[in-house]
Amino acid sequence: MLSDITIGQMFPGNSLIHKLDARYKIVFTIIFMVMLFCANSLIGMAITLLFVIFIYLLAKIPLTMLLKSLKPIIPIVIFMTVFNVFFYSGETVIFKWGIIKLTLEGLKMTGVMMFRVISVISGTAMLTYTTSSIELTDAIESLMSPLKKVKFPVHDLSMMMTIALRFIPTLIEETDKIMSAQKSRGADFESGNIIKRAKALMPILIPLFLSAVTRAGELATAMESRCYRGGEGRTKMKQPKSDKRDYISLVFMIVLTALVISLNYIKF
Amino acid sequence: MTVLEVKNLSYSYGSGTPFYKKALSDISFKIEKGEFVAIIGHTGSGKSTLVSHLNALTRAQSGSIILNGEDIYKKGYNIKKARQTVGLVFQYPEYQLFEETVYRDIAFGPKNMGLSESEIKSRVISAASALEIDKSMFNSSPFELSGGQKRRVAIAGVIAMNPEILVLDEPAAGLDPKGRDRVMRLISEYRKNTGNTVIIVSHSMQDAANYADRVLVLNEGKLYLNGTVDEVFEKADELESIGLSVPPITKILIELHKKGYAVPLNVYTAEDAAKALLPLLKKEVK
Ligand SMILES: Nc1ncnc2c1ncn2[C@@H]1O[C@H](COP(=O)(O)OP(=O)(O)OP(=O)(O)O)[C@@H](O)[C@H]1O
Ligand SMILES: [Mg+2]
């Protein structure tokens, strides 16, 4: 079911991770990416994975949730694995059959790829699991505020993001509802060739677009009648605040990344 | 003859997540052929969840549903058959309209059933006339219609599939009083003319009392009461304790009864109430 999609959904909680300043969390996510793509040694990767698990435990997010959000990418992972394992041109051949050969390098490469894909998803999912969309867009607005100097529409952009994020669950719910209604009328989305299936989507897409457009109009009217006129002079109820925990976490992240990178240069 | 039997049905949303919510627990009831059943209950009591099980859109975590003697959860059961036998009209069904013309939208269900062109045509025409949709509307876009008209077209789209059991989730919600009465009257006439079973979910005690033979009361996912209209509305205090009420007219008579007047309690319309009260008034005057 569509409601199984958990990416972008927040898990309310009270943990240290939930309490961190959202701006720092965005920075941490970026640092984490750097760490991830720089990790080339076995120990470095192990540390990164352990770090991910540690963060999930700390945030008290059930690992089953993570597995659920990894489910949609399983086909991609399988596809990548097959290609890498059998078509990567390596030296140390373990097994050979026609043009297909299994090499040690291919296996290694696949392992590294899987590690990266899984870590990227679980790491970024952590950000949305522990941060509400409002905090997130406020944080992005605050991080990008220097760009205001060059007349970049930072506020408008962040308002657009807030609205988009806010309506993802609504749209999913609505799609679910329309799909059920059309299924009740005997619509079939699962069988037939590609053209037939694409056609079968019309009974869902048309009502969905229609209601999205109507809703956008209504929302715009509602915002205008509450005197919304862009970011000019607009203040915030919750000012983003950073404190000691954020600084300590920042130092921790930098040290960890430095450690992972330096492990690349150490020969055991 | 029993057409539908629900046995020990339980369902919860979001199992294994922090959003876990038990929506239905251990629900059992039977529906006889040709019956008009109303399901009532407070907001969030699980009515919509329950009806989405009846045509196998949602699969219960435990329990079973026997449709015409066959378990629909049995391996190899053709789900499409369940969807044709049980026609489900959703809450606010006008969202499901999508075709270019009213005619084609009503024809969508029959077309999916693989019927012949002439059969589809006769189904559309009879469904439209059952819902008082004028032929002159057939070629207009469903999006140009008023809310009440859209509602009737959407209901006709399900009726055109000729389901043995018609299930409607709040068919009158959001309509003005006239529109409500019209939709309810048309559904009731449809049942009389076809002899098909009708199940409605409703917030209106008045509608349940006026049209249904039997009432199922849901409370917090459990089947709280199951009985004829008289049996259920007799228990006014119990209904009030779970946030429901009895039709306003019935309430007046119940209060009079408590004050010691000899009035019948199974009265649900103003006309019947007048009949019951007039003799009483005459007595007082004397
Ligand atoms: N998709 C969903 N995900 C999670 N919980 C849900 C979902 N749909 C319904 N629920 C919950 O299940 C319970 C029953 O919901 P349901 O929609 O069946 O109620 P209802 O009796 O139809 O209410 P109403 O009269 O407001 O239509 C509610 O507590 C609701 O919050
Ligand atoms: Mg409902």
To probe the interface with A, which of B98, B115, B124, B141 has the most A CB atoms within 10 Å?
A: B98
Measured between alpha carbons, how far is B112 from B119 in angstroms, rounded to an integer? 13
Residue B52 has pLDDT above 90, yes or no: yes
**Total structural domains in chain A?**
1
Q: Please give the structure tokens belonging to residue B117.
A: 């062109």
One-letter amino acid of B62: S
- pLDDT confidence tier of residue B110, bands split at 50, 70 and 90: very high
* pLDDT score, position B174: 85
Residue A4 has pLDDT above 70, yes or no: no
Give the mutation target among B10, B13, B24, B223 for probing the ligand 1 site: most ligand atoms within 8 A of CB: B13
Top mean-pLDDT range of A86-95, A223-232, B121-130: B121-130
Measured between alpha carbons, how far is A82 from A98 in angstroms, rounded to an integer? 16
Residue B27 has pLDDT above 60, yes or no: yes
- pLDDT confidence tier of residue B117, bands split at 50, 70 and 90: very high
* pLDDT score, position A242: 86
* pLDDT score, position B15: 77
- The predicted-structure confidence for B209-260, as pLDDT tens digits, reads as follows 999 999 999 999 999 999 999 999 888 888 989 988 888 888 888 888 888 8
Residue with the bigger pLDDT between A258 and B276: it is A258
Residue A5 has pLDDT above 60, yes or no: no
- C-alpha distances (whole Å) from A43 to each of A50, A82, A249, A258, A260 are 10, 25, 22, 13, 8
- The predicted-structure confidence for B170-193, as pLDDT tens digits, reads as follows 998 888 888 899 999 999 999 999
Nearest residue CA, atom 17 of ligand 1? B48
Please give the distance, rounded to the nearest whole angstrom, from the Cα atom of residue B169 to the centre of ligand 2: 7
* pLDDT score, position B267: 85
Residue showing tokens 């819902």: B131
> Are B98 and A11 in contact (CB < 8 Å)?
no
Strand partners, B65: B6
| Whole-number average pLDDT of chain A | 85
* pLDDT score, position A111: 84
- The predicted-structure confidence for A163-197, as pLDDT tens digits, reads as follows 887 888 888 889 999 999 999 998 888 777 888 88
Measured between alpha carbons, how far is A86 from A36 in angstroms, rounded to an integer? 25
Model ipTM value = 0.86
Please give the distance, rounded to the nearest whole angstrom, from the Cα atom of residue B165 to the centre of ligand 2: 19
Contact B11, B51 (CB under 8 A): no
> Are B109 and A185 in contact (CB < 8 Å)?
yes
One-letter amino acid of A134: I
- Closest-CA residue of chain A to B85: A184
Measured between alpha carbons, how far is B73 from B5 in angstroms, rounded to an integer? 13
Contact A59, A126 (CB under 8 A): yes
Residue with the bigger pLDDT between B123 and A91: it is B123
* Domain that includes residue A59, residue range: 2-265
- C-alpha distances (whole Å) from A25 to each of A44, A126, A267, B236 are 22, 9, 33, 56
Strand partners, A106: none
* pLDDT score, position A1: 47
> Out of A81-95, A217-231, A252-266, which region has the weakest mean confidence (pLDDT)?
A81-95
Measured between alpha carbons, how far is A24 from A3 in angstroms, rounded to an integer? 30
CA distance, residue B52 to nearest chain A CA (Å) = 9
- The predicted-structure confidence for A199-232, as pLDDT tens digits, reads as follows 888 999 999 999 999 999 999 999 999 988 887 7
* pLDDT score, position A258: 93
* pLDDT score, position A124: 84
* pLDDT score, position A8: 59
Burial A152-164 (b: 16+ CB within 10 A, else e): eebbebbbeebee
* pLDDT score, position B94: 87
Residue B21 has pLDDT above 80, yes or no: yes
Would you say the C-alpha torsion B40, B45, B47, B53 has a positive or negative sign?
A: negative
Burial B181-213 (b: 16+ CB within 10 A, else e): ebbbebbbebbeebebbbbbbbebbbbbbbbbe
| Whole-number average pLDDT of chain B | 91
Residue showing tokens 């049995």: B74
pTM over 0.80? The answer is no
Say how many C-beta atoms besides its own lie within 10 A of residue B144's C-beta: 10
List all residues whose CB is within 6 A of at least one atom of ligand 1.
A 3; B 13-14, 21, 23, 41, 43-49, 91
> Are A186 and B113 in contact (CB < 8 Å)?
yes
- The predicted-structure confidence for A41-71, as pLDDT tens digits, reads as follows 888 999 999 999 999 999 988 877 778 778 8
All structural domains of chain B, each given as residue ranges with its CATH number in brackets, are 2-246 (3.40.50.300)
- pLDDT > 70 fraction of chain A, expressed in percent and rounded: 94
Output phi, psi for B245, to 5 deg: -145, 180
* pLDDT score, position B5: 95
Measured between alpha carbons, how far is A140 from A127 in angstroms, rounded to an integer? 13
